[in-house]
Chain A
Amino acid sequence: MFKEVSIMDNESLPPELEEMLSKVRLKEPPKEAMADYLSGVNAKIDRGPVGTNFGFPQVGILLLVGLAFAFGIIYLFGLNPKKEPIQLIPQVQSERINPPAPELVTGQTAVVSQTPQPASGELSLEDQMALLETFGEETGSTTIEFFGNDELLDEVALLDSVEFSAFEGVQTSTAAV
């Protein structure tokens, strides 16, 4: 079945080694091992081509990646000493207990009080400044429109005073009740 070892081409082999090699050959598999060989090949062909090569190295890598990921999650949610506790429920409760009281000092604050006011602790300094600037600009622009028209300014002032007195009347009647 197999060619006997013969030295071909130009390579040379030491005669002693050649003699040794001439006394041995590759061990042929026993016939009983070969009996079901073709059926084994056909079974593998019937099983179809194997797409991915997933062996022990791949399992090991997957295990390591999984462990690293799990450790990361545990560290983030369980062991991180720098984490800040999330206080959603206490804030809601404080808003219910202390609803924002309307401050009616001027007509401008009355406009502000109609909009939903966030809790004072919720806004940062920058946010509060931005809010004040926004309302300041609006008031400023409307006031500028009225400049030069004394009659209109007088009317606006009169309306403000009427509204204020009406509100005071409501307050006193509520207090009396």
Chain B
Amino acid sequence: METVALSDEALIAKARQGDRDAFGTLVTRYQAQAILVAQSVLRNLELAKDASQNAFAKAYFGLGRFREEAKFKTWLFRIVVNEAKDVYRKEKARGLFQFWSAPASTEEETESILEVIPSGGESPRDAYETKEVRGRLEGAIYSLPERERDVFILRYLNGLAISEVAETLGMAAGTVKAHLAQGTTKLKSILLARNVQGGEYHG
């Protein structure tokens, strides 16, 4: 039977019975989003790929603990976020041990997580300015406190609903909204302070 057309719940039921193909379908369904969630924490594709694969493996072994009333997607993203943060802490600790290495290495390992959405009929000047804006926006997002940054990225860049963000990060919906409001205010002030011009942000 073709597993692609099945719902998450049906696939989970099959995977619980040891059907690896059913779990493989779940992996294929969410792998890209899982990588993006991990990448928003780690800012490195290779590390994000490895962390998200670890998260899928952990999810497979933890299927018995998965509650039916929860959404698989948010349950999985929660594992991905935790795994990515774990990898981030390890990499940070490893960086402390490698104090003799070149100081530029951390900059090289950090990759941009944003890309400009291509639009037809854009002049080279517009394209350049949009790239500039992207860089400044990303810099501003990563200067936010951790909680506010996580909430902001999951909500506005991963496109999760507030309830999904709350489930993923294990906090109440009201707390998510409060973090979002604080994060947005801080982001606005950071961007104003950096004086983003060019018709993108005038405050």
Contacts and interface: CB of A to CB of B under 8 A. Distances in A.
Interface of A: 1-6, 8-11, 13-14, 16-17, 19-29, 33-34, 37-38, 40-42, 44-45, 47, 49, 53, 55-57, 60
B32 A1 contact: yes
B116 A23 contact: yes
B157 A17 contact: no
B188 to A, nearest CB: 6
A25 B157 contact: yes
B184 interface: yes
Main secondary structure of the interface of B (DSSP, over half): helix
Interface of B: 20, 24, 27-28, 31-33, 35-36, 39-40, 45, 48-49, 53-54, 56-58, 60-61, 86, 89-90, 93-94, 97, 111-117, 119, 130, 133-134, 137, 156-159, 161-162, 177, 180-181, 184, 187-188, 191, 200-203
Contacts of A28: 32, 36, 115
| 10 shortest interchain CB distances as A-B pairs | A3-B159, A44-B57, A56-B93, A27-B115, A49-B61, A55-B90, A24-B114, A41-B56, A16-B201, A26-B36
Contacts of A5: 156-157, 159
11 contacts: A9-B177, A16-B200, A17-B188, A23-B130, A26-B39, A26-B114, A27-B114, A38-B28, A41-B53, A41-B60, A45-B57
A16 B187 CA distance: 11
Given A2-B36, A11-B181, A20-B200, 9 more contacts: A8-B162, A23-B133, A25-B115, A40-B53, A41-B53, A44-B54, A55-B86, A55-B90, A60-B93
A57 B96 CA distance: 10
B28 A20 contact: no
B184 A24 contact: no
B162 A29 contact: no
A33 B49 CA distance: 8
A56 B97 contact: yes
Contacts of B57: 41, 44-45, 47, 49
A37 B187 CA distance: 35
Given A28-B32, A29-B35, A44 B53 contact: yes
Contacts of A16: 200-203
Contacts of A2: 33, 36, 158-159
B80 to A, nearest CB: 12
B93 A55 contact: yes
Contact of A53 (B32, B86, B94, B116): B86
A63 B97 CA distance: 13
